[in-house]
């Protein structure tokens, strides 16, 4: 089987957490698909505007969807993989965060959970000029926003279905197509991340 170059690898953690390989494979599928879609846009003359440090979408989007397995992934990454002082900054941000405010994981204008950012974030890309302060290009100029190929999202979600204790192939497809999986989606900005802040406080890391 050909190895996906976009797949992140945490060998020891993947041995301990059965859900982690599923999530990493899903993210690799999405990253590969988005990369191919971007290349198609660029061949048509469009230039990707997104760059490191550009965080307009993190600030303007108020309804970023996250699946349960992604929430578990964020918990794992923040608790086990982030280092100081970022971890403490994340904790402070989560404590102070209010519902519907910008993403609490945006720290110093950088995504603090970038390797584990949700599928929705991985898909959102803007072409042409960089977004103006406060602009949500999805509404102001949708023609400049990447319209990702849906089959990559379907393939990515398919890899995560065993997380919900569904293993039969037909049942996996039905779980996705029926909308049952989407019914489990939470909104990142409204999720009670205060529990993650408490978990960080209990780490006793000196």
Q: What is the pLDDT of residues 36-93, one digit of tens each?
A: 999 999 999 999 999 888 899 999 998 999 999 999 999 999 999 999 999 999 999 9
Tokens of 42: 């660029």
Tell whether pTM > 0.75.
Answer: yes
For the purposes of burial, counting CB atoms within 10 Å of the CB of 4, is it exposed (0-12), middle (13-18) or buried (19 or more)? middle
Q: Which residue, among 30, 17, 15, has the nearest Cα to 159 in the 3D structure? A: 30
> Which helix (H) or strand (E) covers residue 136, if one does?
none
What pLDDT is stored for residue 62 in this prediction?
A: 86
CA distance 96 to 98: 7
Q: Tell me which residues of the chain have a pLDDT lower than 50.
A: 1, 206
Could you state, in order of their start, the residue ranges of all structural domains in the chain? Answer: 12-201
Backbone angles phi, psi at 58, to 5 degrees: -65, -25
């Amino acid at each position: 089987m050909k190895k996906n170059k976009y797949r992140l690898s945490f060998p020891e953690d993947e041995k301990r957490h059965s859900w982690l390989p599923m999530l990493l494979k899903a993210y690799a599928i999405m990253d590969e698909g988005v990369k191919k879609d971007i290349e198609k846009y660029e061949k048509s003359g469009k230039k990707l505007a997104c760059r490191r440090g550009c965080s307009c979408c993190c600030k303007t989007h108020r309804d970023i969807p996250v699946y349960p397995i992604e929430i578990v992934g964020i918990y794992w990454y923040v608790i086990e993989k982030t280092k100081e002082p970022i971890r403490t900054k994340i904790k402070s941000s989560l404590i102070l965060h209010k519902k519907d405010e910008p993403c609490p994981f945006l720290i110093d204008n950088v995504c603090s959970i970038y390797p584990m950012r949700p599928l929705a974030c991985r898909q959102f890309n803007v072409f042409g000029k960089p977004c103006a302060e406060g602009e949500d290009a999805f509404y102001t100029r949708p023609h400049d926003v990447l319209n990702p190929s849906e089959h990559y999202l379907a393939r990515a979600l398919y890899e995560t279905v065993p997380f919900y204790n569904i293993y039969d192939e037909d049942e996996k497809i039905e779980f996705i197509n029926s909308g049952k999986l989407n019914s489990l989606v939470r909104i990142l900005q409204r999720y009670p991340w205060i529990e993650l802040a408490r978990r960080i406080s209990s780490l006793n890391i000196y």
